[in-house]
Amino acid sequence: MTGPALRVAALSKRFGGTQALKDVDLEVAPGEIHALIGPNGSGKSTLIKILAGYHHAEPGAVAELDGEPFDLGQVTASRHDRLRFVHQELGLVGELSAIDNLALSRGFARTAFGNIRWPEMERRTSALVERFGLGIDVRRPLATATPVQRTVVAIAAALQGWEGRRGVLVLDEPTAVLPPGEVARLFGIVREIRDTGAAVLYVSHRMDEIFALADRVTVIRGGRRIATCPVAELTPRSLAELMAGEERETGHRPTPPRGPDGPVLEVRDLWTGPLRGVGFDLARGERLGITGLAGSGHEIVPYAVCGAHKGRVSGRLRLPERSERWTEARDADGLGLPLVPADRAGEGVIGDFSVGENLTLPLLDRLRARSGRLRGRRESALAEDWIRRVGVRTAGRHPAGARITTLSGGNQQKVVMARCLAQRPPVLTLCEPTAGVDIATRLQLYDLIERQADEGMGVIVSSSDTQDLLALCTRVLVVRDGRIAREISGRDITESALVHAMEGTE
């Protein structure tokens, strides 16, 4: 076969006023590892979700598998015989074995009486995973397996029933949860799949992976395809320049903090997971960005600072204006620093609660009478006041009583921020503060954060979105391999500088 295994042309997608993809073309050849790379917000995830049938493409898009047309945004059994996916969230059930997980998508082998043929299921599953040589016990719960073993099970689930290895395997950030020592083992597995004649579309943020693995690479930025090149013709710097492009003007640039105020927060020698001795000071009124590639450890820093990280952590923290004493990082929750978490739906709101209940949840002790009863009028007044301050919009005459799940993602984010601000902390810590919000709400959140900093609050912004960092931060710490690799301040904070620092191509 000489034609492409997968061809997509004129692919566009709009969400309200946001153009997520615009006339994107992509061709992946048989027997090729084709990388798809771009900064956060470039449109990679939208493209993959359209291929998987989660989103519909705009009219006019064309898609073919092995030269045969198929409808983008439609999920059919025949299409999935040749187009398989391993998403970043692997979609596995940790409490179940590899046998059960594979059966969830392809079914169980049964006798004429409907009984499960367990020996056949074990042989079938073992045959799929043993080719990768990792010694997986297919009968044990996947929660006991290593990250690379779970990734292999997800790949095996995607490959089962793939006769003749025709088609395309899409791997979306497959190394995001893997320790560095296991990445090479996964690369060997991907090359073995390629060598069978299958095409692999490999989505990644990491340029080192692209140069180690891919045959060709397509760069998308701002929803458009920028270039498709053989990897052998590129250097890390030239690829970083394709990703960064010309500097974008966000229309919102931060002003530096006022005066030479001392630190409002001091962090020293944080160790946990991938972090290796991270430390920094945060000044009053400063907006400090923390960023890095997926898996670098930057996303753990705010959780560790606020005492919300679930793993074992060591290090020291201090709020100098409150006490001269240092607090051990394992006891950081005692400092009372609130966190706007990255996963708003899973960590930020309680879906069964109202807007007011979500907003006042950490303040209930302050709202109780001496008898212990909750002062309902005082609670309602507090909630209504903060709803007005942050500009939450709800349907109905009583916004505090609306169920939180009836709000848009942006308004839910405002409620979470209001809950933190109502505690009047010296430091506000935010993770991915504008994820899943529209452009208008993004600008409103920028204004809200800037007002808090102007009033003297220290702000930490942990984000993988360069637009957030450009618009909000007066200083950015770039984390690479668990350590602070670069500090960028003031007008030196540009998209190109951020991309090069994250990728290590300064």
As to burial, measured by CB atoms within 10 angstroms (0-12 exposed, 13-18 middle, 19+ buried), residue 260 is exposed
- The helix (H) or strand (E) run that includes residue 112 is none
Lowest mean pLDDT among 16-25, 164-173, 198-207, 334-343: 164-173
Q: What is the pLDDT of residues 123-169, one digit of tens each?
A: 888 887 877 666 788 888 988 887 778 888 888 888 777 655 678 98
Q: What is the mean pLDDT of residues 354-371?
A: 83
Residue 77, pLDDT score? 47
CB atoms closer than 10 angstroms to residue 361: 12
Residue 32, pLDDT score? 94
Q: ∠298-304-305 over CA atoms, to 5°?
A: 100
Q: What is the pLDDT of residues 27-63, one digit of tens each?
A: 999 999 999 988 766 788 889 889 888 888 899 999 8
The chain-wide mean pLDDT, for the chain, equals 84
Residue 255, pLDDT score? 60
Residue 134, pLDDT score? 66
Residue 153, pLDDT score? 86
Residue 343, pLDDT score? 82
How far is the C-alpha of 120 from the C-alpha of 108, rounded, in Å?
Answer: 9
> Do residues 139 and 99 touch, judged by C-beta distance below 8 A?
yes
Q: How confident is the model at residue 80 (pLDDT cuts 50, 70, 90)?
A: low
Residue 503, pLDDT score? 83
Q: What is the pLDDT of residues 298-357, one digit of tens each?
A: 999 999 999 999 889 999 999 999 999 999 999 999 999 999 998 887 888 888 898 989
Q: What is the CATH number of domain 6-244?
A: 3.40.50.300
With left for phi above 0 and alpha for psi between -120 and 50, is residue 337 left, alpha or beta? beta
DSSP per-residue string spanning 168-232: EEEEESTTTTS-HHHHHHHHHHHHHHHHTT-EEEEEES-HHHHHHH-SEEEEEETTEEEEEEEGG
**In residues, how long is the chain?**
506
43-59 burial, b at 16+ Cβ within 10 Å, e below that, comes to: bbbbbbbbbbbebebbe
Between residues 121 and 130, the one the model is more confident about: 121
Residue 221, pLDDT score? 86
Residue 422: pLDDT over 80: yes
Tokens of 216: 């060709």
Q: What is the pLDDT of residues 331-346, one digit of tens each?
A: 999 999 999 998 887 8
Lowest mean pLDDT among 64-78, 356-370, 390-404: 64-78
Residue 70, pLDDT score? 84
Tokens of 156: 């095996």
Residue 66, pLDDT score? 84
Between residues 334 and 115, the one the model is more confident about: 334
Residue 1, pLDDT score? 52
How far is the C-alpha of 210 from the C-alpha of 61, rounded, in Å?
Answer: 27
Residue 459: pLDDT over 80: yes
Residues of the chain with CATH 3.40.50.300: 6-244, 250-337+425-506
Q: What is the mean pLDDT of residues 373-397?
A: 82
How far is the C-alpha of 310 from the C-alpha of 300, rounded, in Å?
Answer: 10
How far is the C-alpha of 450 from the C-alpha of 447, rounded, in Å?
Answer: 5
How far is the C-alpha of 338 from the C-alpha of 157, rounded, in Å?
Answer: 40
Residue 302, pLDDT score? 94
Q: How confident is the model at residue 441 (pLDDT cuts 50, 70, 90)?
A: confident
> Do residues 460 and 429 touch, judged by C-beta distance below 8 A?
yes
pLDDT more than 70, % of the chain: 89
pLDDT more than 90, % of the chain: 33
Q: How confident is the model at residue 462 (pLDDT cuts 50, 70, 90)?
A: very high
Residue 443, pLDDT score? 79
3-state secondary structure at position 72: coil
Residue 75, pLDDT score? 57
Residue 246, pLDDT score? 57
Q: Which CATH superfamily is domain 250-337+425-506 in?
A: P-loop containing nucleotide triphosphate hydrolases (3.40.50.300)
